[in-house]
């Protein structure tokens, strides 16, 4: 199931992501990746959640490393490029945009 969501993120990122300004979003992408890597390293034995692959029936290794890396290096950057690349200018639209992504 996670691989299906990642494919959907990839398609959405290609269609709606602002690829011209990726350098502007690079610090935010690094912040998300470093934060998730730090969480994964510090709380290796005491995780808050675990992933379960149910769509393909693939057995995921301990600590769900494959899914975590896919989320870190594909889903986060693509979501950030969609979110920041289409962030509106007016306050009313900004509040709606923030609520949509929360």
pTM here is 0.78
**pLDDT for the residue 51:** 67
**pLDDT for the residue 79:** 92
Delimit the domains of the chain by residue range: 2-101
Whose structure tokens read 């899914």?
67
Q: Which residues contact 36 (CB under 8 A, 6 or more apart)?
A: 68, 71, 72, 76
pLDDT band at 68, cuts 50/70/90? Answer: confident
From 1, 18, 37, select the one nearest 80 (Cα to Cα): 18
23-62 confidence digits (pLDDT tens):
999 999 999 999 999 988 888 777 777 666 665 656 655 5
Q: What does the alpha-carbon distance between residue 27 and residue 25 come to, in Å, rounded to a whole number?
A: 6
Query: Of 89 and 62, which is predicted with more confidence?
Result: 89
């Amino acid at each position: 199931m996670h691989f299906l969501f990642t494919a959907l993120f990839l398609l959405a990122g290609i269609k709606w992501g602002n690829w011209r300004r990726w350098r502007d979003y690079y610090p935010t992408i690094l912040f998300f990746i470093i934060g998730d890597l730090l969480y994964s390293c510090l709380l290796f034995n005491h995780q808050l959640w675990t992933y379960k692959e149910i769509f393909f029936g693939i057995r995921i290794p301990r600590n769900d490393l494959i899914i975590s890396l896919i989320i870190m290096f594909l889903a986060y950057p693509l979501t950030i490029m969609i979110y920041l690349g289409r962030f509106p200018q007016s306050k009313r639209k900004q509040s709606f945009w923030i609520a949509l992504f929360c």
